[in-house]
Homo-oligomer: A and B are copies of this chain.
Amino acid sequence: MNHPSQLDANGRLRHLLTLDGLSRATISALLDRAEALRAQSRGGTVPLSLLRGRTVMNLFFEPSTRTRTSFDLAAQRLGAQVINFDIAHSSTVKGETLLDTVHTLEAMHGDAFVVRHKESGTPAHIAAHLRSRAAVLNAGDGDHAHPTQGLLDALTLRQYRPDFSTLRIAICGDIRHSRVARSDVHAFATLGVQDLRLCAPPELAPTAGEFPQCRIFHDFDEAIAGVDVAIMLRLQKERMQAAAIPSEADYFNRYGLSAQRLHRAAPECLVMHPGPINRGVEIASDVADGPQSLILEQVANGVFARMAVLATLLDADTGTANQA
């Protein structure tokens, strides 16, 4: 799903629904802004006031402490007011439609809606039906996209390997159902990575042709050979049965990142994971906690990447504003 609708008539970002179709310049500008905001806020310790008077509403229809907190902190550190919705307890209880809820929140002058939903396309659906100039930020929708994850992964990687053109990257796990994998591929391919490898059990591999930029592997030992970056995906345990995987131990044996397997990669291969991690399932504890792991750097950069998106979409000087 390409979403031209996330750009306004002048080609500027109005929503962030997916990285698919965004230009290299747009993605690079977001990463540059994240770095500038990190510097400006001295690593998040100095509150900024860019979004003073703006209201950011977190609409999480799926629970996610990690991503919700990251957006909450990003908004607070930019000086915005934040409203968090526990959707299970919300007006959907009373049978109101999703769009009526959104229009109600727009009427209260919500400037940004951060939306996580188990159904792919929900953020785009909301964006298409807004009545104000509010911005929609996709915080993960079904299998479709998790664009701020793609941005924070690119931001993290860029700090350690600034030249993407020579990078060899393997992403391993349940590629078929992974919005993280999709957004990572869109980010990395757009930023110039040539050697992108996706590794999954056959039942969890992407459908043919979805990722023309990538080589598909079913054998992790092959996929990881010589790579500079290994990105491990979380295994949703409910997928194991469908994937004919008899046990977690078996999955780890075939697709887990052990220290031994990491030796097949390039020296100093970087290790990433979107979290939360299943220790001993997709990644060994000593690798997750080891010197090549960037897992906590990813978390730290998540806040700055989200600040950059919020600032870009809401800052009166550069983006759109609620003028309903």
Given A44-B109, A55-B73, A277-B96, CB of A66 within 8 Å of CB of B86:
no
A301 shortest CB reach to chain B, Å = 9
Q: Interface 1/0s, chain A 290-324, versus B by CB < 8 A?
A: 00000011011011000000000000000000100
Is A65 positioned at the interface, with any CB of B under 8 Å from its CB? Answer: yes
Q: Are B276's CB and A100's CB within 8 A?
A: yes
Inter-chain contacts of A95 with B (CB < 8 A): 237, 276, 278
Q: Interface 1/0s, chain A 26-55, versus B by CB < 8 A?
A: 000000000000000001111100001111
What interface size band does chain A fall in? Answer: 35 or more
Q: Are A53's CB and B45's CB within 8 A?
A: yes
Q: In the bound complex, how far is the Cα of B91 from the Cα of A91, in angstroms?
A: 24
**Copy number in this complex?**
3
Q: In the bound complex, how far is the Cα of B296 from the Cα of A100, in angstroms?
A: 10
Q: In the bound complex, how far is the Cα of B49 from the Cα of A269, in angstroms?
A: 44
Inter-chain contacts of A106 with B (CB < 8 A): 296
Is A105 positioned at the interface, with any CB of B under 8 Å from its CB? Answer: yes
User: Which residue in chain B gives the minimum CB-CB distance to A96?
Assistant: B276
A304 shortest CB reach to chain B, Å = 10
Q: In the bound complex, how far is the Cα of B297 from the Cα of A43, in angstroms?
A: 40
- For the complex with contacts A44-B109, A47-B52, A100-B279, 4 further pairs of A-B residues with Cβ separation under 8 Å are A47-B53, A63-B93, A65-B85, A65-B90
Q: Can you name 10 A-B residue pairings with CB atoms under 8 Å?
A: A45-B53, A45-B54, A47-B52, A65-B101, A69-B85, A69-B108, A73-B108, A86-B86, A101-B276, A103-B296
